Amino acid sequence: MKRTFLALSLLLTAALVLAACAPAEAPYDCTDEIGCVDIPPGDPVRIGYMLVISGPNESLGVDSRRGVEIAIHERPEIHGHPVELVGEDSLCSAEGGQTAATKLVSDPSLVGVIGTNCSSAGEPASRIVSQAGMVLVSPSNTAPSLTNPDDTWNPGYLRSCHNDKVQGAAMAEFVYNELGVRKAATIHDGSPYADQLQEVFANTFVELGGEITAQEAVNVGDTDMRPVLTSISVTGPEFLYYPIFIAEGAFITVQAKEIGGLEDTILSGADGMISPDFIEAAGEAAEGMYISGPDLGFSGPVAERFFELHLELYGEDPISAFHAHAFDAANMILDAVEKVAVLDADGTLHIGRQALRDALYATSGLAGMTGTLTCNEYGDCADPKISVNEIQNGEYIAIWP
C-alpha cells in the first residue's frame, strides 16, 4: 500500500512539473498593466540598441555594440524564438538620444533597448522609452542624475555601469592621497556626464582638504581651448581634470602644453576618453596622463570566453571601456525576457511590459562579467569598481588601486 501511494505521489508530482513547463493551451489573455509584446511563431525576440556609432566618439558605441552582439551570440534564441538586434545611432547628444528613442519606440515588436552611451543622450531617451512602456538598460550612462528620483530618473530606466558618485570620489581620493596634490582645477563640456562627474570630484577633493582653483567649461565642438586654459593657468593648479569626450579632450591635452603656467600641471580625463581615437588625436601630449574609469581587469571563465569570441568575431581586442557592461546589460534583458515570457501551444510568445520591468528591477546576484549585479529601486545595478590608468607608450595601463 505504501509503495502504491509513493508511486502515485511521484506520478502526480511529475505531472505538475510537466504542466508548469508546458505551453499554455488556452489563448493568452494579456493582463499586464502597460501591455504585452506578442511574438508570432518563428518570429524573433527583437532587442534594440541606441549607441553612438558615428562621429568622433564612435569607438565608444562600437565597443558597446560588440558586447551586446557577443551576448546574443552566446544566447541566440529564447523559448525557440531567435534573438534579433536592431539599432539606431544616438550620437552623443540630447538631440541624438531623442531622435533614436523616438524611432525605436515606434516599433511595437521591440522588447527592450540597450543604450545610450552618453548621459546627454540618455536623459531624453530614458523619458521617451519609459513613456512608451519599454525598458532601457544603459551600459555607460554614468551621470548621477539618471538614477536620482528627484532629478531625471524614469521608471523604465536602469544601468549596468557605475554611478559617477563612485568614480568622482575615487578619482579625488587618488589625486589627494596617492599623488599628494592639494590644488586642482576642472573643465567640463556642459553635458550631464562631464558636469556632474567633475562636480563630484571637486566636492570630494575639497572634503579631503584640497583646493579647487577653477571650474571652467567648454562647448562640444570647440577646437580652440586656449582662452579657458589661460584662465585656469593663473590659478596655479597642480592637477587638471577634464572628464569629457574624445575630440575636445584631445584639443585640451595638446593645447595645455602651449600655455605658460601649465607646464608642470598633471593632466587627467575619464572613461569618455578611453579610446584609441583619443590616443591618436592627442599624440605625444597624452603621454603620462591619468584616466579614471571602470576597472577593466576582468577575469574568470565568462571573461575568457568573451575575449576569445571578441578576437574571433572582430579580429581585435575591445577598443573602449564599456564592452563588458554592454554584455551584462544584454544578459539582464535576456534573463528577464526568459523569466516572464509566456509561450502558447502554437509557439506564440507573450511578454508583459510591466512584468519585464519588474523582473529587471528585481535583478539580484547576477554573476556578470563586470561583477555581481543587483539593482536598487532606481535602476543602479552595477558592482562598481573604479581604476585609474596612466597612458604609457600609447597604452592605458591600470595603476590604481
Q: What is the CATH number of the domain that holds 201?
A: 3.40.50.2300
Tell me which residues of the chain have a pLDDT lower than 50. 1-24
Whether 169 contacts 204, CB under 8 Å: yes
User: pLDDT at position 308, please?
Assistant: 98
Note whether residue 361 is domain-resident: yes
**Of 263, 278, 296, which residue sits at a domain end?**
296
What DSSP state is assigned to residue 174?
I
**Domain of residue 61, residue span:** 36-164+298-386
Q: Are residues 238 and 307 in the same domain?
A: no
Euclidean distance between CA atoms 256 and 185, whole angstroms:
13
Asked whether the bond before 116 is cis by omega within 30 degrees of 0, the reply is: yes
Centroid of chain to Cα 289: 24
- Summarize pLDDT for 334-383 with one digit per residue, the tens: 999 999 999 999 999 999 999 999 999 999 999 999 999 999 999 999 99
- Coil, strand or helix at 376: coil
* Beta strands 77-78 and 136-138, pairing class: unpaired
> 0.75 cut: is pTM over it?
yes
pLDDT tens-place string over residues 68-114: 999 999 999 999 999 999 999 999 999 999 999 999 999 999 999 99
pLDDT value of position 25: 52
Query: What are the angstrom distances between the C-alpha of 132 and each of 112, 113, 120, 332?
Result: 11, 12, 20, 20
List, in sequence order, every residue forming a beta bridge with 36; answer none if it has no partner.
352
Please state, in angstroms and rounded to a whole number, the distance separating the CA atoms of residues 229 and 245. 17
**SS3 for 307?**
helix
Q: Say if 103 falls within a structural domain.
A: yes
| Domain boundary pick from 296, 315, 342 | 296
Look at residues 300, 299, 250 and name the one whose alpha carbon lies nearest to residue 398.
299
Compute how many other C-beta atoms are within 10 angstroms of the C-beta atom of residue 269. 30
Regarding whether 290 and 322 lie in a shared domain, the answer is no
Residue 148 lies inside a defined structural domain of this protein = yes
